[in-house]
Amino acid sequence: MKIYNITKNVFLAQDALLADKFWQRMFGLLGKPALAQGSGIVLKPCNSIHTFFMRFSIDVIFIDRTNRVVKTVLELKPFRVTAVYLKACCAVELPAGSIKTSRTSSGDMLRLDK
């Protein structure tokens, strides 16, 4: 899956996985040694995440049903929990630094291509 920020005209991920089943969402990035640049994971449905038992920090983008960015969380460290974002329907997990590099911010429109 490719994730593209239409507003900023930049790719966020060229090789992202869609986790839309319970077990896929539950395990997500757990046990992974790192998240490579250009990769990511889209958790659907999802309006809050945790990084318990993860080994690395990640950037998180919460989007609504129209793929508009509701909230960005930069460099979420292991063993942390985000707030619950009621307007969000999906969470996009990316390598730490992706949000800053792409200048992605609340209100931006994303395109998720399978």
CA–CA separation, 109 and 103 (whole Å): 12
pLDDT at 40: 96
Q: Give the residue among 97, 24, 20, 25 at the shortest CA–CA distance from 58.
A: 97
Main-chain phi, psi angles of 24, to 5 degrees: -65, -45
Residue 44, both tokens: 């659907």
Q: What is the pLDDT of residue 107?
A: 98
Instruction: Say yes or no to pLDDT of 26 above 80.
Output: no
* Per-residue model confidence (pLDDT) at position 28: 77
Q: 2-113: what fold?
A: Jelly Rolls (2.60.120)
Mean pLDDT to the nearest integer, 28-33: 78
- Distant-in-sequence, close-in-space partners of 23: CB < 8 Å, separation ≥ 6: none
| pLDDT tens sequence across 50-68 | 998 899 999 999 999 999 9
Report the distance separating Cα 28 and Cα 24, nearest Å. Answer: 6
Q: What is the mean pLDDT of residues 100-111?
A: 98
For residue 19, give both structure tokens.
């986790």
The fraction of the chain above a pLDDT of 70, given in percent, is 100
pLDDT score recorded for residue 30: 74
